[in-house]
Amino acid sequence: MDLQKLITKPKKSAKPQQAGDGLEVVGRSFSRVDGWEKIKGAAKYTDDLEFGPALLYAALVESPHAHARIKAIDTSSAEKVHGVVKVVTGRNFTQKFGLYMNDRYVFATDIVRFVGEQVAAVVATDPKIALRAAALVKVQYEELPAVMDAVKALEKDSPLVHPNLKDYTHVPWFFPKPGTNIAHWRKIRKGDLAKGFKDADLVLEDTYTVPRYAHCAIEPHSAIGLYDASGRLTMWTSSQSPFTQRHVFAETLKAFGLGHKDVRVISTYIGGGFGGKAGVTMEIIAAALAIAVPGRPVKLLWNRAQEFYNTYQRLGVTAKIKMGVTKAGKITALDFKLHWDAGAYVEYGANVVNAAGLSASGPYRVDNISVDSMCTYTNLPPCGAYRGFGYSEFLFGLESHITRMAVQLGLDPVEFRKKNAISEGDTLPYGAHMNPNGIRQAIEKVEKEIAWGVRQKSKDPTKAIGKALVCFWKSPAMPPNASSSAFLKFNEDGSINILVSGMEIGQGLLTVMAQIAGEVLALPVSKIRVETPDTDRNPYEWQTVGSHVTWGCGNAVKRAALEARERIFDLVQRVHCLDKSTLYLQDECVKCRTKPDFALPFRDFVINGIQAEDHTFKGGPIMGSGVFMPEFASAIGDPETGQGGHPNVHYTTGSAGIVLEVDRESGKMKILKVALAVDCGKAINPDLVKGQIVGGLMQGFATVLYEDMRYDGKGRLLNPNFSDYKIPTAMDMPGEVVPIIIEVPQPDGPFGARGVGEHTMIPCAPLIANAVADALGVRVKSMPVTKEKVALAVKAAAR
Amino acid sequence: MPITTEFEYVKPRDMDEALHVFSLYREKARALAGGTDLVVHLKENLARPEVVVDIKALQELAGFTLKGGILRLGALVTFSDLIDSPVIKAKFPLLWEASLTVASTGVRNRATVAGNICSAVPSADSAPVLAVYDAEVLARSIRGERRVPIADWFTGPKKTALQPDEIVTAVEMRLPAKKHAGCYMKLSRYEGEDLAQGGIAVLAFSDNTYRVAACALGPKPARCPRTEALLAGNKLGEKLLARARETILQEVSPISDIRSSKEYRLHMTQVMLGRALEKAVARLFGKGPKYGTENIA
């Protein structure tokens, strides 16, 4: 098994306990609290849930056209099939929905806008019957001209995907251009661009392209809906966002008398999300179908092909970069134009465009900058959240460009990056200031790890070895009022249950929340239970996206634990007459600094109180609640310059380096070594951070080396399968992966922590492109950088 | 994903019964052995047989034997059977090497060699190897049994010489008498399971003769006689290799598809031919990489 080849070297900085920080639970690599449950198969995923013989199954009728008018739908033959309970079309549900832009339909009503869009659904007693009947639904279409390219969509005579754009509601920080295909245009203007280019000794302009990508979570989307006789809608979903889903269900289906209290979303463990299970996609169909067949649960389970073409895809982008640099290696100007292909509906994807536009400088100080990040409608499947949220896409071009400019000026690309790297207090492209960060330490550690500057030679004469080092940053992209909250309650034996609605999506959230509470309450992780949410029981969480839950939800849990601790101290002070300020928690007991022999175990009082001298009892069940909202954030700035506001709460920064062996003839690439250093502020659980680093790198390398969504001229996805959409196997692991943890505390993070989930995949594409250039002198400017492209580029260069 | 198409399923107990079903249903019957193609095609509605004939109970199709220098692979022999066999590894290392590149372990546990050549996709990994061993396919119907040389077996993409009332019972090949060594080079997009974007199998003999065959570089897997003729009687050297790399371009006709461009396939045909020849000759002299390593181009 090639997994053996994976050597993860423990780094000094990653050691569980740093001397002197006084932490007992935080900073140590406890095993995951959900580990045994998953290993033993006890963990339930949505498709595992049992609903008994009343369960109905749904199958969809999907559009074969990229853009067409629905002339007529004949459901009569399907309705006659024995076992069919109901056939539902857009006539039954005309509502629109959307997270940031209200542009998506439950079912296509008059117009279909991408191949695979849901036009109707059959609900039947058996999945085979549903599929057979769906094939009998006859839909008459009148084909319309379609647009498949984000740049062509801007041309004057381009077909309009949403002619009624002016009537759509959206968040106040979006700037759609009705009468065009521009759904949102994020502009950044800072400094004096013309002067910046004048001051430059070298100006380089080029275009980089990135195709669409799919998340490829192991578990496909699934949702079960039940609209019961009491008028409540319960949804079991495989989701990163139970509360956001509840809100979208309630808002979209309010015409049926549903309020938020009537909608309940239960989210089980999920088999991977990567952004694909954020917001609402296919789940709205299951909710609508449940309404259509009251009293019986309806299940909608995506097959692998649907997983590819009808959830969210990662946006494609054409990135035009013009950059000015002085001989000394200072970036003087950056003009960055990003044309995003966001697909037929951009209700979530437009915010990717926004986030990328705000941060397109990368982790560098650029005083004169202009960014045009344009969200364009096309007749391809809808795009939305994907791990990295636009940053991987713009960094491919930006980090490729930076290395090219440094090399052209005869400067060391690593020194160049050190010189321009952002510092605490620097002004960000939108005018706010940069948070404390360890980007320079990250560069230095990675530089050392890959022995930058030392040229390596392959033993095989047909192969060359190249190196590269790049930097990355990312901020959570979230509404300024995105909140987290937590409940915490003690049990008789001194154990606790924590209720949050942050989702365990494989990243280890449950374990991290347990460690945060355990640190405050002096409890071992083994005495803490945290489970996946049910919106009736668990308190609010906006979504598990943007690498923000360790920070946001962690802050809420910490506050809940502090509140519980405060109640404990209040009680002990009241009953034992010990001053609160002298009390502390240790080893599941309340202790007192001034009275060394005092130790009151939690189990003696956290439910039944403390018996006073008069035999009465004081106290009662100890609980805590915590809420966190980033009250300093604001999304409102000047639409023409992007200045004003404080849209991003903080950035996580880092650096990655690679040693890559490339076959000159076949183009085949082998990653001999990769090192990634990320400043996570504080690694609550270092092993989980390392897991994110290894996993993120693999996902990132997959997008640059193998993955590529291919469409034909009619907008049909040609590879909605793993035969031709390749994701890496254990055989494709790098030779050596070195995860490096940097800890420059985030002042407002729990124990100094900030997010780390997405960042680890962001640097991969330019790492490969730059290392190939270093090894063989050829530059690939379009992703993926496949062995075919490399081999043909080498061949062309030799001519 | 459920199979929505309807069909009859039969599992004959003996050969006569099986052959009668095929003589009755002909094109409307499909044999089920490994099922790694058929079941996928049923799910995707690409295959709509009236009857699926499960041949797994037919004892005479099971197992393989090496007797009198003839290797007989029963139609039920899977790629994992070959990989797990020390005899195959010792006597037919090229077959062993190519088997390792077929799909993934899970698929190889079920997929049969006979099924691979009956599917007859241009990318069949076993085909170039069977071609260089001059294998014969044994096909039987109620009319009797016949032997089809592998050179005549593939008649086009996904097309074979098998008649509608026939099933394949075995594939046979002779262990070459002369000292020899081989190499199978496969062009894949990564190290994991992949359909060949090109494949070259080479057998090199101690008398400086060579056999070369290709898959996924034309409409059907085939030997490369002009390249073989050029090489015959010569020791491998830089000049000869360069001429061989030019000659083979006259014998392949790859297409551009989602997996690879024609340009890259042509380029890699030359790269893989050179590497396969060099490795096969090195192995002939007890050098070169171990079988089953360094063969993904």
pLDDT digits (tens, 9 = 90+) for B86-119: 999 999 999 999 999 999 999 999 999 999 999 9
* Residue B157 clears pLDDT 50, i.e. is over it: yes
Using DSSP bridges, classify how beta strands A263-267 and A233-237 pair: parallel, antiparallel or unpaired.
Answer: parallel
* A745, A436 Cβ separation under 8 angstroms: yes
Q: How many percent of chain A have pLDDT more than 90?
A: 97
* A607, A490 Cβ separation under 8 angstroms: yes
Task: Kindly state the average pLDDT of the residues B165-190.
Answer: 98
Domains and CATH numbers, chain A: 47-144+221-301 (3.90.1170.50), 482-628 (3.30.365.10)
Where do the CATH 3.30.390.50 domains begin and end in chain B?
180-284
CB contact under 8 A, A726 and B260: no
CA distance A494 to A433: 44
* Residue A265 clears pLDDT 90, i.e. is over it: yes
Structure confidence at residue B1 (pLDDT): 81
Task: Kindly state the average pLDDT of the residues A162-180.
Answer: 97
CB contact under 8 A, A729 and B2: no
- For residue A75, give every residue at least 6 positions away whose Cβ sits within 8 Å of its Cβ, in sequence order, or none: A87, A89, A120, A137
Structure confidence at residue A6 (pLDDT): 44
CATH of domain B8-54: 3.30.43.10
* Residue A365 clears pLDDT 90, i.e. is over it: yes
Pick the CATH number of B59-174 from 3.40.50.10420, 3.10.129.10, 3.30.465.10, 3.40.830.10: 3.30.465.10
Cα angle, residue A101 at apex, residues A100 and A104 outer, rounded to 5°: 120
* pLDDT tens digits along A595-635: 999 999 999 999 999 999 999 999 999 999 999 999 999 99
Task: Kindly state the average pLDDT of the residues B144-152.
Answer: 98
Phi, psi of B109, deg, nearest 5: -65, -20
DSSP state of B28: G
Task: Kindly state the average pLDDT of the residues A255-281.
Answer: 97
CA distance B253 to B274: 18
| Radius of gyration of the CA atoms of chain B, in A | 19
Which residues does B contribute to its contact with A (CB < 8 Å)? Answer: 1-4, 104, 187, 189-195, 258-261, 263-264, 267-268, 271, 296-297
CB contact under 8 A, A726 and B263: no
Among A726, A732, A791, select the one facing B267 at the smallest CB separation.
A791
**B13 in helix, strand or coil?**
coil
Pick from A300, A665, A732, A790 the residue to mutate for testing the B interface (most B CBs within 10 Å): A665
Mean pLDDT over the full length of chain B: 97
- For residue A459, give every residue at least 6 positions away whose Cβ sits within 8 Å of its Cβ, in sequence order, or none: none
Structure confidence at residue A799 (pLDDT): 85
CA distance A779 to A773: 5
Task: Kindly state the average pLDDT of the residues A99-118.
Answer: 97
CA distance B12 to B18: 5
The amino acid present at B282, given as its one-letter code, is A
CB contact under 8 A, A726 and B268: no
**Angstroms from B83 CA to nearest CA on chain A:** 16
* A411, A339 Cβ separation under 8 angstroms: no
Structure confidence at residue A12 (pLDDT): 47
Structure confidence at residue B250 (pLDDT): 97
CA distance A466 to B5: 53
Q: Is B197 exposed, middle or buried (0-12, 13-18, 19+ CB in 10 A)?
A: buried
DSSP state of A455: -
CA distance A248 to A622: 34
Mean pLDDT over the full length of chain A: 96
- The verdict on whether omega for the bond into residue A747 sits within 30 degrees of 0, i.e. cis, is no
Tokens of A545: 């996206």
CB contact under 8 A, A729 and B192: yes
* Residue B218 clears pLDDT 80, i.e. is over it: yes
> Which residue in A has a C-alpha nearest to residue B45's C-alpha?
A132
CATH of domain B180-284: 3.30.390.50
CA distance B225 to B241: 15
Q: A612-649 in b/e burial notation, b at 16+ Cβ within 10 A?
A: eeeeeeebeebebbbebbbeebebebeeeebeebbbbb
CB contact under 8 A, A303 and B1: yes
Task: Kindly state the average pLDDT of the residues B53-67.
Answer: 97
Nearest to A113 by CA among A354, A347, A286: A347
Using DSSP bridges, classify how beta strands A652-663 and A463-474 pair: parallel, antiparallel or unpaired.
Answer: antiparallel
CB contact under 8 A, A791 and B264: yes
Residues in B closer than 8 angstroms to A729, CB to CB, are: 104, 190-193
Position A21 confidence tier, pLDDT thresholds 50, 70, 90: confident
- Predicted ipTM beyond 0.90: yes
Structure confidence at residue A7 (pLDDT): 45
- Cross-strand partners of B141: B144
Where do the CATH 3.30.43.10 domains begin and end in chain B?
8-54
Tokens of B36: 């790694």
* pLDDT tens digits along A721-741: 999 999 999 999 999 999 999
200-229 of A, contacting B, C-beta below 8 A: none
* pLDDT tens digits along A42-71: 999 999 999 999 999 999 999 999 999 999
Residue A37 contacts B, CB cutoff 8 Å: no
- For residue B67, give every residue at least 6 positions away whose Cβ sits within 8 Å of its Cβ, in sequence order, or none: none
* Residue A241 clears pLDDT 50, i.e. is over it: yes
Task: Kindly state the average pLDDT of the residues A248-274.
Answer: 97
647-676 of A, contacting B, C-beta below 8 A: 665-666, 668
Nearest to A375 by CA among A401, A346, A397, A400: A346
- Cross-strand partners of A486: A500, A626
* Residue A270 clears pLDDT 80, i.e. is over it: yes
pTM for the model stands at: 0.96
Q: Is B191 exposed, middle or buried (0-12, 13-18, 19+ CB in 10 A)?
A: middle
Q: Which residue has the tokens 């960000």?
A: A428
CB contact under 8 A, B190 and A729: yes
Position A20 confidence tier, pLDDT thresholds 50, 70, 90: low
The 3-state secondary structure of A603-615 reads: HHCCCCCEECCCC
Pick from A304, A308, A668 the residue to mutate for testing the B interface (most B CBs within 10 Å): A668
**A706 in helix, strand or coil?**
coil
* Residue A14 clears pLDDT 90, i.e. is over it: no
* Residue A299 clears pLDDT 70, i.e. is over it: yes
Higher pLDDT, A299 or A15: A299
Instruction: Give the strand order in the sheet containing A623-628.
Output: A528-530, A496-500, A484-490, A623-628
* pLDDT tens digits along A537-560: 999 999 999 999 999 999 999 999
Pick from B264, B266, B270, B296 the residue to mutate for testing the A interface (most A CBs within 10 Å): B264
* pLDDT tens digits along B69-81: 999 999 999 999 9
Q: B125-145 in b/e burial notation, b at 16+ Cβ within 10 A?
A: bbbbbbbbbbbbbbbbbeeee
Residues in A closer than 8 angstroms to B2, CB to CB, are: 127-128, 131
Task: Kindly state the average pLDDT of the residues A468-495.
Answer: 97
Where do the CATH 3.30.465.10 domains begin and end in chain B?
59-174
Q: Which helix (H) or strand (E) holds A441?
A: helix A439-449
CA distance A690 to B241: 48
Structure confidence at residue A4 (pLDDT): 41
* A738, A433 Cβ separation under 8 angstroms: no
